[in-house]
Structure 1
Amino acid sequence: MTRQSEGSGLFPAWVHDNLAVPETLGFTAWVRVWTELGVRCASPETHEKLIRHYDEPHRAYHNRNHLAECLQVRRLVNATCQAPAEVDLALWFHDAIYDPLRSDNELRSAQWLDEVARASGLGDETRRRLYDLVMVTRHDSAPQSLEEAVLVDTDLAILGASFERFEEYDQQVRREYLHVPMPVYRRKRRQILEGFLMRERIYTTAPYFDAFEQPARANLARAIDRLD
């Protein structure tokens, strides 16, 4: 088995391919997801602000390329759920706020989405679901709905990427935490990766399980061995 075949074929074609990013993250894509939620006037100012956040210089992994990968994986895997537009909008915001020095990034991202959703006229129940969708990306509890499962599986798809993309991702995460001394980082990183590996299933939904489970376990085991 070659290294390339160890990972999902959904990722390698996009690696370093920034041509796909403008289409995926452009204003047309932004308008489309809001239109599917019944909002006719998507805010260009919010779109621009959101992209600026993903372009912050301290982001090595949690940047616009990660967002683009998530949105493209979501489209290509196309796992069935009842509210796909809600999943897609939550993906746009799931790392809207990202500061490696803080532990409330998901909360602040969910709050920002709730503010935008309220201003856009979305109802209370829709806003509650959107809030919960962003919060589930803390990965500290099991998804409570099919939509949450699809979003979590999409966010974790990077674990089942090709050998090359996973190695790049692993290095990018380290760059975001250069302020953490290496011994501490190795211990904490191992705890996180082992937590995923020890799960009965990394991916809840069948399409993501079929596409990513086996390569994710191989990638995680290799990364944990390297941390020893």
Structure 2
Amino acid sequence: MENEPLIDEPLKHELSVLYRGEGRHYHSLAHIEAMLALADAYRASLHDPEAVEAAIWFHDAIYDSRAKDNEARSAALAEKKLAGRTDAQRLGRITAMIIATATHELPHFDDENAVRDAALFLDMDLAILGATADAFDAYEQAVRREYGWVEEPMWRAGRNAVLRNFLGRPRIFHTEEFRQRFEAQARQNMARSLTALGLS
């Protein structure tokens, strides 16, 4: 159990198939690869990089834009697929990180290292918000395509609420590193997006 990787090649392949599913315009393999690249860049800051990598691979494994329980179902899949590959406590940390992507609020861990890993993981998931204006606009368009079934007025109202929720937070990013790198740009991008929605 100790020497086996949490996410081996067969499991990566199995998950990649899910991420290549129909209707995934943003929550795709490219999103996972972007997060894995960030995890690699910040590897020295992670206490348990393998657990974070596992959370990245599983966090959007189940994605249906019409459903409200994607995170819980993704966490359940992680629990099922990773059972026997690690201890229950570590698996609990991984599933808690996945579930936390529903709100992007930190899970409650007693262990400071686990909190730090979760903070970095959640920040990696939101790094797109602080991307260049072009990349952010492409992300917004991709998410809109995922919600193609939602009529425009409903989409605008829903997106407006999401953006205002993030902009209303004292900090969008949990860690100092990501705040310095992405916070200002993220606020600019989202403010611009709100203006474009015509509801601000």
When normalised by structure 1's length, the TM-score is 0.79
Q: How far apart, CA to CA, are the structure 2 residues paired with 1:204 and 1:79? A: 17
- Total equivalences in the alignment: 192
Distance change (3 Å), C-alpha of 1:203 and 1:143:
farther
Matched, 1:213 2:183: yes
Change (3 A) 1:41 1:214: closer
- Specify the SS of the correspondent of 2:83: helix
Equivalence for 1:141: 105
**Structure 2 counterpart of 1:171, from 125, 133, 141:** 141
Deviation at 1:149, TM superposition (A): 0.7
> Is 2:188 the partner of 1:224?
no
Counterpart of 2:163 in structure 1 is 193
Q: Is the Cα contact below 8 Å between 2:59 and 2:98 reproduced in 1?
A: yes
What is the CA deviation profile of residues 26-75 of structure 1, one whole-angstrom value per residue up to 9, with x for unaligned ones?
Answer: xxxxxxxxx9x642585544222200000012100000111111111222
> Using the alignment, how far apart are the partners of 1:186 and 1:137 within structure 2?
22
| 2:62 partner SS | coil
- Cα distance in 2 for residues equivalent to 1:110 and 1:191: 25
TM-aligned CA distance change 1:202 to 1:181, over 3 Å: same
C-alpha offsets along residues 90-127 of structure 1, whole Å, 9 cap, x if unaligned?
0011111101111111111111111111142x111011
Q: Is the 8 A contact 1:143 1:152 kept in 2?
A: no
Q: Deviations over 1:114-169 (max 9, x none)?
A: 1111142x111011111101111112533431121111100000000011100000
Determine the structure 2 residue equivalent to 1:153.
Answer: 123
RMSD (Å), alpha carbons: 1.8
Unmatched runs of 5 consecutive residues or more in structure 1: 1-34
2:111 corresponds in structure 1 to none
Percent identity between the two aligned chains: 33
Mapped pair 1:118 → 2:88:
no
Structure 2 unpaired stretches of 5+: 109-114
Superposed structure 1 runs of 4+ greater than 6 Å apart: none
1: distance between equivalents of 2:6 and 2:33?
Answer: 23
User: What is the TM-score with the length of structure 2 in the denominator?
Assistant: 0.90
Partners in 2 of 1:201 and 1:64 — Cα distance? 28
Instruction: Name the CA distance, whole Å, in 1 between partners of 2:93 and 2:150.
Output: 34
CA deviation after TM superposition for structure 1 residue 83, in Å: 1.6
- Separation in 1, partners of 2:6, 2:117: 24
Instruction: Pick 1 or 2: higher relative contact order, CA cutoff 8 A, min separation 6.
Output: 1
Verify: 1:101 aligned to 2:71, yes or no. no
Give the SS at the match of 2:27. Answer: coil
User: For the residues of structure 2 that align with 1:191 and 1:118, how far apart are their CA atoms?
Assistant: 37
1: distance between equivalents of 2:146 and 2:24?
Answer: 6
